[in-house]
Structure 1
Amino acid sequence: MGLPGALAAAAARLPGLSLVPPPVLPGASLEPLVFPDLDGWRADDHRAAFATFLASCAALRAPPREVGPIDAPTLREGLRQACANATRLGTAEPSDLVARLFFEVNFAPWRVVPDKGGAGFFTGYYEPEVAGALTPGGGFDVPVYRRPDDLVMSGGGPTPNSGPVQRRDADGRMVPYFDRAAIEDGALAGRGLEVAWLKDPIDLFFMQIQGSARVRLPDGRVLRLNYDGYNGHPYLPVARLLIQRGLVPREEMSMARIRAFMEQDPQAGRALRRENRSYVFFKALDLGAGDGAMGAQGVSLTAGRSMAVDRRIHTYGVPVFVEADLPLSAPGAADPFRRLMIAQDTGSAIVGPARADLYFGAGDEAGAVAGRIRHPGRFILLVPRLARIAPGAP
C-alpha cells in the first residue's frame, strides 16, 4: 500500500483526521518527491532540526501573530498535528534515527519549482555586534529609532512587519512615510524615539538589512535590538547597484565588499545608502546572551537551522530541506549544504516561493559567511501529511 495509502486509510478510520493537500504556492508548482530523492537527507543532523521544530511548536499553539497564506489554516493544523505527535515521543531529545523517522512519517517532501524556471535562491543573514550607547556623545551620534506612533498602514492600523505605510500630514492627508534620506536629515529628531546611539552609520545600515543587532554598551552590557517595522518604501539592494555600475564584479559581491566601498568613499557610500529608501525601526528585547535573534514567528532563531521566507506565501513552522553548494569555508568555495531548516522569520527582501534567507548566528564570523551567500539550490518543502480539522473549520 505504501505510506501515503496507509495514511489515507488511517485518516478514514479516525474522526476529524484528514490528509493535508499540498499548498498552492503563487508563482510556483510543486513536484512530489520521496525522502530517498533528497541528496544528503540521511546524513543530516535531524536531532538539531527536531529541536528547532519544537521551538516553532510552542509558537504554533497560539493564534497566528499575523495573516499568512490563504491556505494557512489547513497547513497550520497539519503542523499542529505534527507537533502533537512530536510530544508523544516522550522526549525533547530523541536519537537522530528517531528524529529522522519522525520527519519522514509526519511530512511529505515537495520540491518548489518557480514558474519562471530555475532553482530556488538562497542568501544568508546574521545578527551584527556593534558598539553603541544609550545616550549621545563621545562619538555616538547615529540614532537608532523605535517605530514611530504615526506610522500606520493604509488601512489605518499600526504595522510592525510589512505593508503599505503612511502618515497623516499637517493638512490631515495620508501620505507616504518619510524615506531614508528624510529620516537621516532629521525628520524624526526631537521626538524621543531613540533606543540607542551608534558611532558608524554603516553599522546602522547593516543592522537594518539584518533586522537585529547586539549593541555593546560602554559599560560592557549588551542591548539586544530587533526589527519593529519599516517605513513602507521598497527595499532596493545596494549590491545590485554596485554590480550594475561596474563598481564590484558580480562574482566578488559580498557584504564585506559593500562595507569596503562605503568606508573607502564615505560620501559615495552615504549616497548609495540613500538610494535604498527603505528604513527599519527597532525595539529592545530581553534576551539572554545565548539566545539567537528573535524571529518574526516569535521564537529565538537557531544558527544553521532557522530561515526567513516570504510570509505572504509560506507558513511559519514549516520545515524546508535545502540542497545547495555554498561558500561556507571561504570565498569561492562550493561546500555542500544539505540541511533541514525551519521557517521562523521573514524579511522585506525575501520575495518568492523558492526564496529563503539562512540564519547563521551572531558576530563577525557568522557575518562573513552570511555575506558571501547569493546562490541557487533546491527548495524542498516538507508538508504535513495529516491534520485534525474541526467541523466547519476553513
Structure 2
Amino acid sequence: MPSAEAASGLMGQARLEPLSFKDLAGWADDDHAAAFKAFLRSCRALEASSAELRLAKAPEKRLLAVCREAFKSKNLSRAQARRFFETHFQPFAIHPHEGRGFLTGYYEPEFLGSRTPNATFKVPLLARPDDLVTIAQGQSLPGIDKSFQAGRRTAKEGYEPYPDRAAIESGALGSKAKPVVYLREPGEAFIIHVQGSSRIRLDDGSVMRVAYAGRNGRPYTSIGRVLVQRGEMDLETMTLAKLMGWLKDNPGPAKDLMRQNQSYIFFREADELAPDDGPIGGAGIPLVPGRSLAVDRSLWTYGLPFWLEGELPFSLEKAEPLRRLMIAQDTGSAIVGPARGDFFFGSGDEAGVRAGLLRHTTRFVVLHPKAG
C-alpha cells in the first residue's frame, strides 16, 4: 500500500501525520453544516466533470465517491454534518519539509469604473488574448521554461514565453489587448490582479462583475514584501489600505514597483453571477466567504476539506481563534506549497481590511477521503 504522501503526490515536500478528529482543537464547535454546504458546491462541479475522471488521479475518484454519498443528504444539522465528515474522511496533519504552514487572506474588491475610457477612467483591465496558451499542471511546451505556466503561439507554429507585465503595459499585445472595463488608478487594477476578481460600480449606476480568465504564466512577486525589504513599510503595521495609499501617492515609483511583479492577469465579465454570489474561484464555482480556501493546485484536489488552526485578525491589535473546516475551491500564483493557503473573506471594504491583515502561521490538516 502506498504511503499517504505518495498517494497525495507530496513525496519530498511534506510528511502527513494521521490524526483522529479528537486531535483537532475546537473541532466539535465549528459549524460543520456551513462547511457541508460549501463542500456540496464542489461536489456538484466534480460530478459535472465526472466523465473526465476515468483518467483522473485516485484522490479525485475517491472524493467523487464521497460526494455521491453527500448527494443523498440534504439540510444536515451541524451534528449530522460533523458525523458525515468523520465517517467519510481521515484527518492528516501536514508537516512541510521546509518552513511552516502559512495563511494569507483575499477578497473581492469593489471599485468605480466605466465601460468606456474618459479623463477619470483610463486604466484598463484586459480580456484574455486569443494567443494565450495556458500550460496544464505537470505539463510543458517546447521553448517555454518549465517554471512558466503559459506561453503564446508563434508564426512558425512554435511557442514562446508570454510577455511580462512591463511589456504588456507598454503595448506589447497590440490589438490583442481588448479592455473589459476601465478604472481610475493603476493601483486599483493591480489589487484586482492580485485578488483575481472584482465588483465594478459603473458610472451609469449598474454593477459589473469581473472574473479571472487567465494569466501570462510569469512568476508572482509580492510588492508589499519588496516595500518591506526596502524599508518603506514595516511588516507588522502594513495593511492593504496603507499599500494602496502608497501606490496612489507615489505614481512614478509605484509603476516601477508593480512591474517587478511579472505576473499579469486577464479578465472576463462574469454576467452569470447573481448579486449575492461570491466570485468564481479556480474550481469554476462561486466562492463562499469564510469557507473557501485557495490552495496549491499542483498538490491538492479541488473539493478537499482542510481544517485550519491559527488566528483570524480583526485589527493589528485584536484577533480571534481560527478553528475552522474549509474547502479547497481556488488557487493563486502566490499560493505555493503543501501547507500554504489563502482564506476568502468575501466582498467589499470590510472584507478587504481583514484579508490584508491575515499573514499568519497556521496549522493545516487535510481531510482525505477514506478508501471505499
User: Scaled by the length of structure 2, what TM-score is found?
Assistant: 0.90
Aligned match of 2:77 in 95, 105, 108?
95
Aligned positions of 1:239-318 closer than 5 A: 239-285=224-270, 286-318=272-304
Correspondence 1:150 to 2:140: no
Aligned match of 1:44 in 30, 35, 41?
30
For 1:99 and 1:169, how far apart are their aligned partners in 2? 52
Aligned positions of 1:321-340 closer than 5 A: 321-327=307-313, 329-340=314-325
Aligned positions of 1:65-144 closer than 5 A: 73-89=57-73, 91=74, 93-117=75-99, 119-144=100-125
For 2:108 and 2:166, how far apart are their aligned partners in 1? 24
Correspondence 1:180 to 2:162: no
Aligned positions of 1:183-262 closer than 5 A: 183-191=168-176, 193-262=178-247
**Identity between Structure 1 and Structure 2 (%):** 47
Identify the residue that residue 333 of structure 2 maps to in structure 1: 348
Q: 1:76 to 1:172 in 2, by over 3 A?
A: closer
Tell me the SS of whatever aligns to 1:340. strand
Aligned positions of 1:353-372 closer than 5 A: 353-372=338-357
**How far does residue 54 in structure 1 lie from its aligned partner after superposition?**
0.5
Q: 1:62 to 1:265 in 2, by over 3 A?
A: same
For 1:180 and 1:356, how far apart are their aligned partners in 2? 25
For 2:36 and 2:101, how far apart are their aligned partners in 1? 23
Tell me the SS of whatever aligns to 2:354. helix
Gaps of 5+ in 1: 1-18, 388-394
Task: State which structure, 1 or 2, has the greater radius of gyration over its C-alpha atoms.
Answer: 1
Tell me the SS of whatever aligns to 1:386. coil
Q: Is the 8 A contact 1:235 1:276 kept in 2?
A: yes
Identify the residue that residue 20 of structure 2 maps to in structure 1: 34
RMSD: 2.4
**How far does residue 261 in structure 1 lie from its aligned partner after superposition?**
1.7
Offset from partner CA, 1:89-142 (integer Å, 9 cap, x none)? 3x2x1111101111111111100000014x310000000111111111141111
Worse-matched range after superposition: 356-365 or 264-273:
264-273
Amino acid at match of 1:85: E
Q: Is the 8 A contact 1:20 1:385 kept in 2?
A: no
Q: Is the 8 A contact 1:136 1:197 kept in 2?
A: yes
Q: Is the 8 A contact 1:153 1:163 kept in 2?
A: no
Offset from partner CA, 1:313-359 (integer Å, 9 cap, x none)? 000000000101131x2123232011100000111110000000010
Offset from partner CA, 1:264-302 (integer Å, 9 cap, x none)? 212111111111111100011121100001011111100
Q: 1:169 to 1:57 in 2, by over 3 A?
A: closer
Amino acid at match of 1:46: H
Q: 1:24 to 1:268 in 2, by over 3 A?
A: same
Amino acid at match of 1:81: A
Aligned positions of 1:56-67 closer than 5 A: 56-63=42-49
Identify the residue that residue 367 of structure 2 maps to in structure 1: 382
Q: Which runs of 4+ in 1 moved over 4 A?
A: 19-22, 64-67, 153-157, 168-173
Tell me the SS of whatever aligns to 2:107. strand
Q: Is the 8 A contact 2:188 2:244 kept in 1?
A: no
For 1:300 and 1:213, how far apart are their aligned partners in 2? 13
Q: Is the 8 A contact 1:52 1:302 kept in 2?
A: yes
Offset from partner CA, 1:212-265 (integer Å, 9 cap, x none)? 011111122111111111112111111111111111112122322221221221
Identify the residue that residue 7 of structure 1 maps to in structure 2: none
Gaps of 5+ in 2: none
Q: Is the 8 A contact 1:322 1:340 kept in 2?
A: yes
**How far does residue 173 in structure 1 lie from its aligned partner after superposition?**
6.3
For 2:200 and 2:297, how far apart are their aligned partners in 1? 28
Q: 1:21 to 1:189 in 2, by over 3 A?
A: closer
For 1:282 and 1:305, how far apart are their aligned partners in 2? 24
Amino acid at match of 1:294: I
**How far does residue 374 in structure 1 lie from its aligned partner after superposition?**
0.7
